């Protein structure tokens, strides 16, 4: 049974950094495509970032490119979402998602591609 557990959410001032962690149990991050999605107040859930299994390649939504990164620590079996330069409209519940094996790059942003989901962690950016 694969479980994903997010942590690290909280309240941060605009312009500040925050790092989220997705801890994986029941499988290993190097065998799964890992992703982050978010859902802001009154909005649909949207893709944020992903990292492929094996030799990692990262993909990012245009809205976070240059500000967010998603490094993977295979020894700790976690994936991070390092968020810098946060804006108030980054306020959302952030979800970790995973799928065994690969996902085509063009499909990275589709929720239906991911089998496993975490419970989410709230990030609030104050202006």
Contacts of 87 (CB under 8 A, 6+ apart): 14, 125
Structure tokens at 81: 């979402």
pLDDT tens-digit series, residues 89-114: 999 999 999 999 888 888 999 999 99
At residue 105, the pLDDT reads 85
Give per-residue pLDDT as tens, 8-63. Answer: 999 999 999 999 999 999 999 999 999 999 999 999 999 999 999 888 899 999 99
State the pLDDT at residue 127: 85
Helix (H) or strand (E) holding 95: strand 92-100
pLDDT at residue number 91: 98
* pLDDT above 90 for 72: yes
d(C-alpha 110, C-alpha 37), whole Å: 10
Q: Are 48 and 68 in contact (CB under 8 A)?
A: yes
């Amino acid at each position: 049974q694969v479980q994903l557990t997010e942590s690290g959410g909280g309240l941060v001032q605009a312009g500040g950094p925050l790092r989220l962690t997705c801890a994986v149990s029941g499988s290993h991050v190097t065998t799964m495509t890992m992703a982050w999605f978010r859902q802001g107040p009154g909005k649909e859930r949207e893709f944020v970032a992903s990292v492929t299994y094996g030799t990692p390649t990262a993909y990012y939504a245009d809205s976070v490119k240059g500000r967010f990164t998603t490094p993977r620590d295979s020894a700790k079996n976690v994936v991070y979402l390092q968020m810098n330069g946060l804006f108030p409209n980054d306020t959302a519940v952030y979800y970790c998602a995973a799928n065994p094996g690969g996902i085509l790059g063009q499909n990275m942003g589709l929720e239906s591609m991911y089998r496993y989901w975490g419970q989410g962690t709230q990030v609030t950016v104050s202006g």
